[in-house]
Structure 1
């Protein structure tokens, strides 16, 4: 075995005392596309409940549910009209309680999505604001400003929406005259709250307690870096090649403002009132993991998504650098590193890792995208990347369907697209529909088992039929069984609570490390890498032949065996 030469800390301590979220593997459910129990073509909470045993069998520790709260569904539920109720599309509060109880009965924690940056324009507060006068208490809950120009006919500044187009919309006042403008970093149907207003703080404390009282284990916080805006509202033009959600070296005046940290310190205290290690996980698109660690300092959030890891190229030097900096940055503030490769906002990594052209976050891909790459190479790299990720210390996130090896549905017909990005850019950007297509459960069933009637709010590609869960369950070489095996080994070896030690003696394009009782070798080079054929192989993302690890393959070995 090669000699260890560098040691990086993972989450500390005895696994019996570490809070669950420090080492958990958390499975993201996008409810619209997970399982449809009532046959209307849209997934629902009863569908989730009916499939929880599948997730327990997969071996995850928790589920995160994307929004299911009352919403007109202009942005897939991220436009919330009532933060304390379930949208009838997904069921009822009673359905939620049943789902939560069923999850807890299977030792699965439940995290719910919270959207504090904005509401739907159908929210009672915003409807009250539209009916009120400028300068009123009702308007002060949102960001209303007078326009510029002689008659206020131009917006207050030049900010643009994440979804494309202007970030300001002018209202018509009650007397019929052109009025003030309101800010919406996303769709015009999603007005931003004004977090300079104490009433907004109080309302979200109430919302947190509503769901904590029902027994949820934590919250994923949407746009966690965007709640506070520069109160001078200066003009700003983002880099057109940057990720749509932020992450530029110099933050936008509506992202990464220091005041957001006061909000999360306040929320941390609310969660501390409850037993059971309740957790906050932030969606913070910032420029580096060092900045990301600011969100998880003691007394603030517990986790934040590692988007730098997610967006990394398939390159050993880059991946190693991000792993090193992540473990160092998060460890320096006593937080676990987190790892993620796919979610509902990005091109699925089974496709993304083979792309041959740049594809900024939020842009999506469609039938005219020229850099699609080789699907077989994409899946092979995705399996290898997941095997790397699940061997790392800390907490990991999986996105529904990745355990089946699902690719991005790039060939959706235009008439089925629903993402606001598609409409607000006039079709210039495809958006996120391709990663949100309902997942396959049974190859011979209507809608591949997603819905008993065959209805599906987005059409499923025929190529997914052999990827259905029921087909993969009986195939020892399937992506599903690769995930199940890796998750079992991760748990058995307590890798989430481990410590990473890089191993020397390997080429630059190969990553090799030890974490507790497991040695991991990831071959990102163009040629096979040798290992001792007597080594005890625990798992591999692809076949190993004649003592060689092929290109784009990750292998796990028992530490102490020859490698």
Structure 2
């Protein structure tokens, strides 16, 4: 049962004092095809997710962010969108999506969906029309079609590389059978980039935003938010003096100002969340000015090693860069693109998104990783601003690195000829109950789209809900306290000095978090009582290594 107190708090809107729901929300990411399978076809869907809504409400989250749920050939896990105004049939129907939004709102849970404006699917009607059209036609001007270089046009138009490996250009065969123009795709070849100099593209996405706001969606997470605008003339990266000609160009801000005006037509509580990797925190913060996006993902925190000095630097830089624009920071430990943090924290040097960062196949101390993950949960959930929880992290799940090659679906695996195994290992379907696969992910006898390890039998949601020492119990209690304590969520913080390898900060009124990253136990500062700890204290009442504690 959900208390009316929680519902009213979650559904509050702006009061003019910076208390918008999104400024301190705990948001749970649902990667739909791996969350819960309602019809037994091995793929998660809306029916399965609807059945798990009570679980999410009990966990204590404020909002759900759905990865793309649109019709898609799934060349890139749904980020290749064929129709922005419908639901992928494998996931369900538009009516089911509307029902989910309605039921979630009744429980006081907001809904955020993905929008993918940088590119669409090569199966999108616009792209089919462009392929059938002549060079220079209006249909092709919605994309980046260009003649090739060289005497016969057989070289790509520039030196841009796909972020999934290989050239960012693919040559088409024209209607008469001759080799033709090239089109730009900064990701997979099945994801042609849209041309945001074209007014049709602007008008189309304005209509898409209204379509989903009309259906009650509370916010949209913007994929590749920095990448929509390309430099005039599409110059080579070589000689660009560090400024990528397809990232973080000034014109992108006009797009988001227009989007913000659309959101405000629906009231002050509809939001945009940006996804962008930018090395300059000042330029990052420009996206969060009061007339642009509301918040953005903090990838510097996600990819930071488990080291006190580096974590403190990242946290302070994040707070400092957000303050001038009045935006709340966000804190993320895992998502559908990165190695799960139980694994990252269990081996040295595993930090981020790239293959070199991920260190697939190197030994993992899973016990150490889980202990650090518990501490990191209390750290991230007590910092100022909003926090994200990726499905399964509340169960302490780890990266599955032995997915059979023939079952891998991430395009990164194919485009690197297997050199980079890709991101399927963090997308393995969740274990809900039982002692063997499919662990309640789908009906008994169904086969999940990626295999689940037998070891997950002790990590199901059912098993952990009965264990007061489980990762699930820790998250549930932390999220409960986060809702109840006025110190948590949006607001100020002040560092405390407890040693170079200890993170400690105070948040008014009356809250302190201490995280010990040292090799030895540390004494706790003066306090009235322990609110929550990620692990037990020593006999002397000190905080052990790789442990976090919340104090009143």
Greater shift after overlay, 222-231 or 523-532? 523-532
Change (3 A) 1:478 1:358: closer
State yes or no: 1:134 paired with 2:135: yes
C-alpha contact 2:30 2:65 (8 A) present in aligned 1: yes
Cα distance between partner residues in 1 of 2:158 and 2:171:
13
Q: Equivalent residue of 1:339, what SS?
A: strand
Cα distance between partner residues in 2 of 1:251 and 1:299:
25
Q: Equivalent residue of 1:280, what SS?
A: strand
Cα distance between partner residues in 1 of 2:120 and 2:525:
58
Query: Partner residue of 1:515?
Result: 507
Cα distance between partner residues in 1 of 2:31 and 2:55:
15
Residues 517-559 of structure 1: CA deviation (Å, up to 9, x unaligned): 211110011111122698511101111122111110001111x
Residues 46-88 of structure 1: CA deviation (Å, up to 9, x unaligned): 1111101111110110000001101111111110000001110
Instruction: After TM superposition, give the deviation of residue 235 of structure 1 in Å.
Output: 1.8
Query: Partner residue of 1:228?
Result: 229
Query: Partner residue of 2:432?
Result: 441
Greater shift after overlay, 307-316 or 282-291? 282-291
Instruction: After TM superposition, give the deviation of residue 175 of structure 1 in Å.
Output: 0.8
Query: Partner residue of 1:398?
Result: 389
Cα distance between partner residues in 2 of 1:550 and 1:175:
72
Q: Which runs of 5+ in 2 are unaligned?
A: 1-13
1:290 to 282, 285, 306: 282
Change (3 A) 1:359 1:340: closer
Cα distance between partner residues in 2 of 1:401 and 1:422:
23
Query: Partner residue of 2:8?
Result: none
2:545 to 542, 551, 562: 551
Cα distance between partner residues in 1 of 2:391 and 2:410:
19
TM alignment of 1:62-461, pairs within 5 A: 62-236=63-237, 250-275=242-267, 277-358=269-350, 360-363=352-355, 369-444=360-435, 446-452=437-443, 453-461=445-453
Residues 79-135 of structure 1: CA deviation (Å, up to 9, x unaligned): 000000111010000110111111001000000000001010000000000000011
Residues 326-355 of structure 1: CA deviation (Å, up to 9, x unaligned): 111111101111111100001111111222
Q: Which runs of 5+ in 1 are unaligned?
A: 1-12, 239-247, 559-563
Query: Partner residue of 1:25?
Result: 26
C-alpha contact 1:500 1:515 (8 A) present in aligned 2: yes
Residues 215-253 of structure 1: CA deviation (Å, up to 9, x unaligned): 100100001011111122222269xxxxxxxxx993421
Cα distance between partner residues in 2 of 1:524 and 1:201:
48
Instruction: After TM superposition, give the deviation of residue 372 of structure 1 in Å.
Output: 3.3
Q: Equivalent residue of 2:489, what SS?
A: helix
Residues 25-47 of structure 1: CA deviation (Å, up to 9, x unaligned): 10000000000000000000111
Query: Partner residue of 1:49?
Result: 50
Higher relative contact order (CA 8 A, sep 6+): 1
C-alpha contact 1:408 1:435 (8 A) present in aligned 2: yes
Q: How high is the TM-score relative to the length of structure 1?
A: 0.92
Cα distance between partner residues in 1 of 2:523 and 2:75:
52
Residues 191-228 of structure 1: CA deviation (Å, up to 9, x unaligned): 00000111100000010000000110010000101111
State yes or no: 1:530 paired with 2:523: yes
Instruction: After TM superposition, give the deviation of residue 444 of structure 1 in Å.
Output: 3.1
Matched length: 535
Q: Equivalent residue of 1:227, what SS?
A: coil
Query: Partner residue of 2:481?
Result: 489
Cα distance between partner residues in 2 of 1:21 and 1:359:
27
C-alpha contact 1:15 1:497 (8 A) present in aligned 2: no
1:498 to 491, 499, 503: 491
Query: Partner residue of 2:59?
Result: 58
Instruction: After TM superposition, give the deviation of residue 373 of structure 1 in Å.
Output: 2.8
Greater shift after overlay, 372-381 or 113-122? 372-381
Cα distance between partner residues in 2 of 1:87 and 1:342:
25
Change (3 A) 1:171 1:534: closer
Cα distance between partner residues in 1 of 2:525 and 2:292:
46
